[in-house]
Amino acid sequence: MDLPSRDWGRLAYGERGALEGTIMAATALDVAAYILAKEAPMSAMKLQKLCYFAYGYHMAWEDRQLFPERFEAWANGPVVYELYDQHRGKYRLDHGDIIGDPAVLDDDERESVNIVLESFKAYTAHELSAMTHRPGPWLDARRRAGVEDDLKRSNEELRDEEIADFFGALVGREDD
């Protein structure tokens, strides 16, 4: 089966293996469940930000998406709506609070998430959120939406090419 990119994701959430021979890609829910399995409990905001950093660094290291869902430029930083929809109304998340399958992640995906967890787990949700507010993909999306005020809502999507460039530059600096 010739696939042009990982944008295809799953045919539908919850329909694992709907087609015989279908390659299963990780979703944001799978990555979030993996993170919670390793580091729970944590706040919902921290989980969202760890997913963002894992996504960005994975793009820089592996030159491919970690999952097909898109980040939106919400007031407190990048948010995957599908993940938010599962934790809506909850502040603190624990094992099993996100319905995903951590076993779906491939070795490279697990490695990217593990490195990010090791590097960022000591930061609070608010510190991680502040990191996303620096010049970069989140701020670019907010500007595109005409939302300069941090308190205003926006569902403008962050662009993969901007995420890849931003995190690629960070990785390049780390290698120097």
Q: What is the pTM of this model?
A: 0.85
Query: What residues form DSSP beta bridges with 80?
Result: 71
Quick check: 109 and 26 in contact, CB under 8 A? yes
For residue 114, tell me if it sits in a domain.
Answer: yes
Distance of CA 79 to the CA centre of its chain: 8
For residue 130, tell me if it sits in a domain.
Answer: yes
- CA–CA distance, 172 with 129 (Å, rounded to integer): 22
Q: Give ∠ CA 72-77-80 in degrees, rounded to 5.
A: 40
Query: Which pLDDT score, from 0 to 100, does residue 153 have?
Result: 82
Quick check: 164 and 60 in contact, CB under 8 A? yes
Query: Which pLDDT score, from 0 to 100, does residue 51 have?
Result: 98
For residue 58, tell me if it sits in a domain.
Answer: yes
At residue 113, does pLDDT exceed 50? yes
Query: Which pLDDT score, from 0 to 100, does residue 90 have?
Result: 95
At residue 13, does pLDDT exceed 60? no
Mean pLDDT computed over 113-138 = 96
For residue 63, tell me if it sits in a domain.
Answer: yes
Query: Which pLDDT score, from 0 to 100, does residue 57 have?
Result: 98
pLDDT digits (tens, 9 = 90+) for 44-103: 999 999 999 999 999 999 999 999 999 999 999 999 999 999 999 999 999 999 999 999
Confidence of residue 7 (pLDDT cuts 50, 70, 90): very low
Number of domains forming the structure of the chain:
1
pLDDT digits (tens, 9 = 90+) for 138-171: 999 999 999 977 778 899 999 999 999 999 999 9
At residue 127, does pLDDT exceed 80? yes
For residue 61, tell me if it sits in a domain.
Answer: yes
For residue 19, tell me if it sits in a domain.
Answer: no
For residue 20, tell me if it sits in a domain.
Answer: no
pLDDT digits (tens, 9 = 90+) for 25-40: 999 999 999 999 999 9
Nearest alpha carbon to residue 93 among 40, 54, 51? 40
- Phi, psi (rounded to 5 degrees) for 140: -60, -45
For residue 44, tell me if it sits in a domain.
Answer: yes
Q: Which residue range(s) make up the domain with 103?
A: 26-175
* Residue 41 burial (CB count, 10 A): 12
Nearest alpha carbon to residue 39 among 116, 112, 105, 91? 116
Task: State the alpha helices, DSSP H only, in 8-106.
Answer: 28-39, 44-62, 81-87
